[in-house]
Amino acid sequence: MTPVNPPLLSVIVCVYNEALVLQQFFARLLPVVEAVAQGDYELVCVDDGSTDDSLSILMQMAEANPRLRVVELSRNFGKEAALTAGIEYATGQAVIPIDADLQDPPELIHALVAQWQKGADVVLARRSNRDSDSLLKRQSSQWFYRLYNKLSNTHLPDNVGDFRLMDRMVVDAVRALPERQRFMKGIFAWVGFKTVTVDYTRAPRVGGKTKFTGWRLWNFALEGITSFTTVPLRVWTYIGLIGAGLSAAYACFIILRTLISGVDVPGYASLLVAVLFMGSMQLVSVGLIGEYIGRLYVEAKQRPIFIVRRTVGFDPAVGGSDAHEARHGAA
């Protein structure tokens, strides 16, 4: 159920162990949304199972600011699930997800809202300068976007994260998608709508440390590719066909050579290399198939994307509908 008079703007803040930066973040965010929305806004803060003082800080802020709502998840479900929770609870006519680390400047919200008021359904915040990120992170990100866009029919804008503005009809379209394993950047791109882009310079973190290690980024990239394309599976079909063709040609060559020159001494080294190579290729292909089967397994179980332990600051008629609880396990 949506409120009778929904706020103009909803800002979603996903929090996981960000106690060191929350005070500074809200000190910059609040004046911006107050000026842009003139008091007609809500801040939907999703605590994704923080183990530091993040939740207590959010609760204190919610007591001081009635427009700040808190969604406490029962454990750490991950960034994509937390963002899904924020989108589910946000009721504004325009919705803006933003990270609390201040790498995405809250001041850019002015430009995002201005483009939305001109008629855009989605306003992307694109990182035109990422010098604050390491060279390895910038390069790997560039490789991922190139590979993803070559494999997938859903184009993913380069250097665009979750920081964006979405009109209510875009948010409703995202909420209607039922998958459990969610790659939100791909989902945002898949729904489409009229989109414009605003560039900005990405700043360093003001405190704390990133939660995305190299291993998590690798798994995140794998999740994105397997979520929106089956090309990797098709590639292995072609690899198999090429291998079969080369094997048949080589077999014909061996037969002809044997008929003409007789039988040579067997080459055990080359045979071992060929067996190991083909075995490795088979293991890689089986692993890739396993990634897709694993997704089917997760989707078939139909477990909720997240479970809510409690909410603070929401109208019960809005935040606790039966349909919402059934889909996402709200407690």
Q: What is the largest CA-CA distance in the chain?
A: 92
Mean pLDDT (whole number) for 270-294 = 69
- Burial call 199-227: b when 16+ CB within 10 Å, e when fewer: ebebeebebbeeeeeeeebeebbebbbbb
Of 166-170, 200-204, 232-236, 241-245, the range with the highest mean pLDDT is: 166-170
Share of the chain above pLDDT 70, in %: 62
Indicate the average pLDDT of the chain: 75
pLDDT per residue over 6-58, tens digit each?
778 889 988 888 888 888 888 888 888 888 888 788 899 998 888 888 888 88
pLDDT per residue over 138-183, tens digit each?
666 666 667 666 666 667 777 787 888 989 988 989 888 877 777 7
- Tell me what pLDDT residue 60 has: 86
Q: Which residues pair with 97 in a beta bridge?
A: 12
- Tell me what pLDDT residue 142 has: 67
Q: Which residues, 6 or more positions from 259, have their beta carbon under 8 angstroms from its beta carbon?
A: none
Q: Which helix (H) or strand (E) holds 94?
A: strand 94-99
Q: Are 140 and 218 in contact (CB under 8 A)?
A: no
- Tell me what pLDDT residue 206 has: 56
Tokens of 75: 């454990």
CB atoms within 10 A of CB 7: 18
- Tell me what pLDDT residue 320 has: 42
Q: What is the CA radius of gyration of the chain?
A: 25
The lowest-confidence range among 179-183, 192-196, 232-236 is 232-236
Q: Are 327 and 304 in contact (CB under 8 A)?
A: yes
pLDDT per residue over 86-97, tens digit each?
888 988 888 999
pLDDT per residue over 101-114, tens digit each?
888 888 888 888 88
* Predicted TM-score (pTM) of this structure: 0.67
Tokens of 269: 């080294």
Of 126-130, 159-163, 216-220, the range with the highest mean pLDDT is: 159-163
> Please, which contacts does 191-197 make with residues 24 or more away whose CB atoms are closer than 8 Å?
193/121, 193/122, 193/167, 193/169, 194/119, 194/120, 194/121, 194/122, 195/120, 195/121, 195/122, 195/123, 195/124, 196/115, 196/120, 196/122, 196/123, 196/124, 197/123, 197/124, 197/125, 197/126, 197/157, 197/160
End-to-end CA distance of the chain: 17
